Homo-oligomer: A and B are copies of this chain.
Amino acid sequence: MLMNILVTINSNYIKPLKVMLKSLFLNNPEEKFIVYLLHSSLTTEELDELKQYIAGQGHELKVVTIDDNYFRDAPVLLHYSKEMYYRLLAFKFLPLELDRILYLDPDILVINPIRELYNQNMEGYLFAAAYHDLLTVREINKLRLKPYEIDAYYNSGVLLKNLELQRQTIDEQEIFEFVDRNKVKLLLPDQDIINALYAKQIKNLDEKLYNYDTRHYSYYKLTSNGLWDMDYVIRNTVILHFCGKKKPWLKGYSGWFHSLYKHYEKLAI
């Protein structure tokens, strides 16, 4: 089956992107992937190398270079570049014939087949995503974005997009106005925007299957009465997400899935 994957990175994430893609390809040997890369800063050499890397494994990279001028008048935030809009407004830059695409963060391993995720029925939904169900995190974010009445705080690291519906529904001016109004409060801007403006049109995915926060192994295991042990995770979880500031490709990391990450990194690079 042909599947569209969306990634948006700068040069710092080329290496983890390769690891993520390697795990995706290896664990989905029957699929053919077209990887759309939205960017504004990668060099021709970097893009060529990435193209070859992906082609060498039987898949295809399509590069969409975004002109700096496009977001000239969009509001910016102190610690975030305009790239924060790429993930939200990708539908504006992708071919019209695409009806859906799966956005994936680069700090991810795909360890099982993604076909079921990709083929979700998306009727009436703009996105499918998972929220991380740690009580504290949920409550804090609900308070922070209170006027927007969110039920859950979805994580935008794995985001299946209904591009057809997004083209009809999402208004970039509304997004820019939201950012302007909430500048001070936004912590993770694109994630906050999705949660505040579109929560009602997000289809809820099981986080333990599709957006497994690798920091929470013990919590998941405990709250499932032991069902989600390591064996179960490795056989069932589709997407491991290395959330948080400490990343497994950096020195000093330690975590439950460290050895597995390094295994894929060795295969990838």
Chain A positions within 8 Å of B, measured between CB atoms, are: 111, 229-231, 233-235, 251, 253-254, 256-260, 262-263, 265-266
Give which listed residue, B229, B230, B259, contacts A234 with CB less than 8 A. B259
Q: Quick check: B260 and A230 within 8 Å, CB to CB?
A: no
Pull 6 A–B residue pairs with CB atoms less than 8 Å apart, ordered by A: A111-B263, A230-B259, A234-B259, A234-B266, A256-B258, A258-B259
Residues on B with C-beta less than 8 A from A262 are 230-231, 233-235
Residues on B with C-beta less than 8 A from A256 are 258-259
A125 shortest CB reach to chain B, Å: 31
Residues on B with C-beta less than 8 A from A111 are 263
Residues on B with C-beta less than 8 A from A263 are 111, 234, 260, 263
Give which listed residue, B253, B259, B265, B266, contacts A259 with CB less than 8 A. B259
Residues on B with C-beta less than 8 A from A266 are 234-235
Q: Quick check: A258 and B230 within 8 Å, CB to CB?
A: yes
Q: Which residue of B lies closest to A259 (CB)?
A: B260
Complex Cα gap A254–B226 (Å): 13
Complex Cα gap A172–B256 (Å): 46
Q: Most B CB atoms within 10 A — which of A111, A254, A256, A263? A: A263
Residues on B with C-beta less than 8 A from A259 are 230, 233-234, 256-260
A47 shortest CB reach to chain B, Å: 26
Residues on B with C-beta less than 8 A from A229 are 251
A144 shortest CB reach to chain B, Å: 33
A218 shortest CB reach to chain B, Å: 9
Complex Cα gap A253–B223 (Å): 18
Q: Most B CB atoms within 10 A — which of A229, A231, A233, A256? A: A231
Complex Cα gap A254–B217 (Å): 11
A216 shortest CB reach to chain B, Å: 14
Complex Cα gap A47–B35 (Å): 45
Q: Which residue of B lies closest to A251 (CB)?
A: B229
Residues on B with C-beta less than 8 A from A260 are 259-260, 263
A226 shortest CB reach to chain B, Å: 8
A222 shortest CB reach to chain B, Å: 13
Residues on B with C-beta less than 8 A from A257 are 259
Q: Most B CB atoms within 10 A — which of A256, A258, A266? A: A258
A217 shortest CB reach to chain B, Å: 9
